[in-house]
Amino acid sequence: MDYRKIDLLFKPKSVAIIGASENPDKVGHVIMQNYIDVGFSGMIYPINRDAERVLGRKAYKNVKDVGAKVDLAVIAIPAEGAIRALEDCGKAGVRSAIVVASGFAEIGRDDLQKSLVKVSEKYGMPILGPNCLGVMDMRSRVDTMFLPTFKLDKPKIGGVAFVSQSGAVGSTVLDMISHEGFGLSKFISYGNAAVIDEVDLLEYLMHDDDTKIVLFYMEGVKRGREFIDTVKRFTQTKPIIIAKGGITQEGSKAAQSHTASLAGSATAYEAVFRQFGLVHARDIDDLLSFGKIFETEGLSPGKRVAIITNGGGTGVLATDALYSNGLVQADLSEDSAKALRKVMPSIVNVRMPLDMGGDADDKRFAAAMDIITKDKNADMIMVIALFQTPGADSRVAATLIHYKSNTDKPMVVVSPGGNYAQVHNQMMESSGLPVYESPSAAARAMKALLDYSNYIRDTCGIYGKGQKRQK
């Protein structure tokens, strides 16, 4: 499959919705409504055997009656009818299709899935699915998902592509992402991968300039060796953060009946992830937490982390978190120590973690950041900002945002707490500063970034040119 053909799914100029309906209970209705709601600027052709008009637009009995070029057909009718509809699409010269219907290989109907593949081959028509939610492209305003817009918060535009074999995981993560300050480039739910599979999608995203990092939930790959060839090149230019379902034997069985993925041992997947620089997320929490640091931070030159905090106890926990994740505390330079002694109140003990005291205000944060962002002995920075303290307010958040935009060092903020803290966390995250609820979540994410950074440093001579990541 030529990955360039996949572009049609994301940037169609005309869409036929097969199964579009006036009945709000029908999937075809929700999909069409979504196209209208998100402001899709191309042509929309509802296809419905029985209706004259759907949602105010002229409906056609068959896609063959449209009589104009159709870039994409979204097939929103049950499996049995879907094959006939695809055949009609092929005859009508439709250039690509997304089959959202389930009822194929995942329930043992391999015959239907085979027919679908045949139609795709016969007409050279790329097909996504079946048994999927389809795609969402934040820039071209394409949204084939059959989830009503009011039920799901949609993320802002950004550089993260999120790919999910499972539609359910896909939509929940999508909903969660919008609260994590992520910017999304594309969302893809690809289901059974009958024609377009994970290798094709990765090839496409590797060449997609809108995508800077990929979050991937998968249950299995279809073509192991090709997958390796692709990710080997991919990870040299953009990180892939991957969570795999079905790593236990029982989970693997569940996955097989779910999206009809071939097994392959968990050991083998882990070996592949490790060997070719994929960032392995143990679960969805990891996926989101790692995604956040990879979206905004560049590579880390090393494992030395400077911690500054306005709470002593949290500083201790943070130190533990660093060491239990294979990171170490930065040993500040003599110059930094001297400078800090000058600007910190005498009660502050100048050493790591730098505990500035509960009364630290934005000025004290600024003074510390000024010195630490310039210290060559610190590879990364973890700022613990407890907004419960008397000194911390919005000015602290603004200060951290300011220093973040003036340093190349990877930097994260740890800010646990309730509403008051959350408001500030959102401020910081939407300004591109990753915020974590706990020191251990922050340390895990920093370790993931470090592992990837080391991988790139060690392998850039072997697998690729080791292009510098764009921030």
Spatial separation of the C-alpha atoms in residues 362 and 132, rounded to whole Å: 48
Which residue has tokens 């993260």?
Answer: 160
Query: What's the min distance (Å) between Cβ of 316 and other proteins?
Result: 27
Stretch that binds other proteins, among 136-144, 219-227, 347-355, 425-433 (CB under 8 A): 219-227
Cβ atoms < 10 Å from Cβ of 109: 17
Q: How far apart are CA 277 and CA 469, in angstroms?
A: 14
Q: Candidates 193-201, 328-336, 398-406, 454-462 — which segment interacts with other proteins by CB under 8 A?
A: 454-462
Choose between 331 and 451: whose C-beta lies nearer to other proteins.
451
CA angle 426, 144, 35 (to 5 degrees): 85
Name the E strands within 380-448: 380-384, 411-414, 435-436
User: What minimum distance in Å lies between the beta carbon of 268 and other proteins?
Assistant: 4
Asked if 324 interacts with other proteins (CB under 8 A), we say no
How does strand 57-58 pair with strand 53-54? antiparallel
Cα dihedral 147, 153, 158, 163, rounded to 10, equals -40
Q: Does 225 bind other proteins (CB under 8 A)?
A: yes
In the window 65-84, what residues touch other proteins (CB under 8 A)?
Answer: none
Segment interacting with other proteins (CB under 8 A) among 53-61, 96-104, 218-226, 292-300: 218-226
Type of residue found at 37:
D
Please state the closest distance from residue 109 (CB atom) to other proteins, in A: 19
Closer residue to other proteins, CB minimum distance, 67 or 461: 461
Question: Residue 383, SS3?
Answer: strand
Question: Are 288 and 279 a contacting pair, CB within 8 Å?
Answer: no
Strands (E), 155-278: 156-164, 183-189, 213-218, 240-244
Q: Is 220 in the site for other proteins (CB under 8 A)?
A: yes
Report in angstroms how near the CB of residue 243 gets to other proteins at its nearest.
17
Pick the binder of other proteins from 14, 22, 459, 466 (CB under 8 A): 459
Pairwise CA distance, residues 346 & 189, whole Å: 57
Of the candidate residues 38, 55, 263, 328, the single one contacting other proteins (CB under 8 A): 263
**Which CB, 267 or 346, lies closer to other proteins?**
267
Q: Which lies closer to other proteins via its Cβ, residue 151 or residue 465?
A: 465
- Using CB under 8 A as the binding criterion, the count of chain residues that bind other proteins stands at 20
Q: Does 254 bind other proteins (CB under 8 A)?
A: no
Tell which one of 42, 81, 103, 264 touches other proteins (CB under 8 A).
264
Residue 194: count other Cβ atoms within 10 Å of its Cβ: 25
Which of 262, 423 has the CB closer to other proteins?
262
Cβ distance to other proteins smaller for residue 36 or 262: 262
Told to check if 465 binds other proteins by CB under 8 A, we report no
Please report the sign of the dihedral spanned by the C-alpha atoms of residue 279, residue 284, residue 289, residue 291: positive
224 binds other proteins (CB under 8 A): yes
Q: What are phi and psi of 158, to 5 degrees?
A: -165, -155
Q: Which residue's CB is nearer to other proteins, number 277 or number 353? A: 277
Segment contacting other proteins by CB under 8 A, of 141-149, 263-271, 367-375, 398-406: 263-271
Q: DSSP letters of 249-310?
A: HHHHHHHHHHH------HHHHHHHHHHTT-EEESSHHHHHHHHHHHHH----S-SEEEEEES
Determine which residue in the list 221, 367, 397, 435 makes contact with other proteins, applying CB under 8 A: 221
Part in contact with other proteins (CB under 8 A); list of ranges 27-35, 180-188, 201-209, 261-269: 261-269
Letter string b/e over residues 397-434, b meaning 16 or more CB atoms within 10 A of that residue's CB: bbbbbebbeeeebbbbbbbbeeeebbebbebbbebbbb
> Which CB sits closer to other proteins, 221 or 384?
221
Least separation in angstroms between residue 252's CB and other proteins is 12
Indicate whether 245 belongs to the interface with other proteins (CB under 8 A).
Answer: no
Enter the tokens of residue 373: 């962002």
**For other proteins, which residue of 44, 51, 228, 343 counts as binding (CB under 8 A)?**
228
Scanning residues 265 to 284, which ones bind other proteins (CB under 8 A)? Answer: 265, 267-272, 274-275
Residues in the chain: 471
What sections of 297-378 are H helices per DSSP?
Answer: 312-324, 334-343, 362-372
Q: Which is nearer to other proteins, 81 or 224 (CB)?
A: 224
Q: Is 458 in the site for other proteins (CB under 8 A)?
A: yes
Piece of the chain touching other proteins by CB under 8 A; list 22-30, 197-205, 260-268, 289-297 = 260-268
Of 193 and 412, nearer to other proteins (C-beta) is 193
Selection from 168, 122, 121, 176 nearest residue 147 by Cα: 168
Q: How far is the CB of 278 from other proteins (least distance, A)?
A: 13
Q: Is 407 in the site for other proteins (CB under 8 A)?
A: no
242-265 CB burial, b ≥16 within 10 A, e <16: bbbbbbeeeebeebbebbbbeeee
Residues that bind other proteins (CB under 8 A): 220-221, 224-225, 228, 262-265, 267-272, 274-275, 458-459, 462
